[in-house]
């Protein structure tokens, strides 16, 4: 199963508290493991590199590319969230570098996964 990991503490808390069918999003760059609208994926909490703990499963509802220079104008309501996620990459990005805004719908909590 495809998966995404999260290590931003407030985003992890938000996802864990989100009821089933709730929406959340993330900004990603670099290698995206072929995530497509409609895919069901595992959402994980990154403990240390190479060691993740499952949080829930989610369905991808939308994947939208956007250049770094356009992120703030294209998604002004998500500025603080995006800045924190981008800061965690720990590097600077060229203005034409592509990011992907991924919107997901939580479909099952980890406690419900058998």
Give the per-residue pLDDT at 106.
96
pTM (two decimals): 0.84
Exposure class string for 26-42: b at 16+ Cβ within 10 A, else e: bbbeeebeebeeebebb
List, for residues 85-97, the tens digit of each pLDDT value. Answer: 888 888 899 999 9
The CATH class, in words, for 3-112 is mainly beta
Helix (H, G, I), strand (E, B) or coil at 41: strand
What pLDDT band is residue 31 in, cutting at 50, 70 and 90?
low
Instruction: Give domain limits for the chain.
Output: 3-112
d(CA 96, CA 55): 33
Range of weakest confidence among 39-53, 76-90, 95-109: 76-90
Signed CA dihedral, 41, 76, 94, 64: sign only: positive
Please name every residue paired with 60 in a beta bridge, in sequence order, or none if there are none.
104
């Amino acid at each position: 199963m495809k998966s995404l990991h999260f290590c931003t503490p407030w985003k992890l808390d938000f996802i864990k508290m989100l009821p089933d069918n709730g929406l959340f999003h993330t900004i990603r760059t670099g290698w995206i493991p072929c995530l497509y609208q409609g895919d069901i994926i595992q959402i994980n909490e990154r403990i240390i590199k190479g060691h993740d703990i499952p949080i829930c499963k989610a369905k991808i509802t939308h994947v939208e590319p956007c250049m770094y220079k356009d992120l703030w104008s294209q998604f002004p309501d998500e500025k603080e969230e995006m800045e924190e996620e981008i800061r965690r990459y720990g590097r600077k990005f060229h203005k034409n570098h592509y990011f992907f805004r991924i919107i997901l719908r939580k479909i099952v909590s980890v406690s419900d996964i058998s």
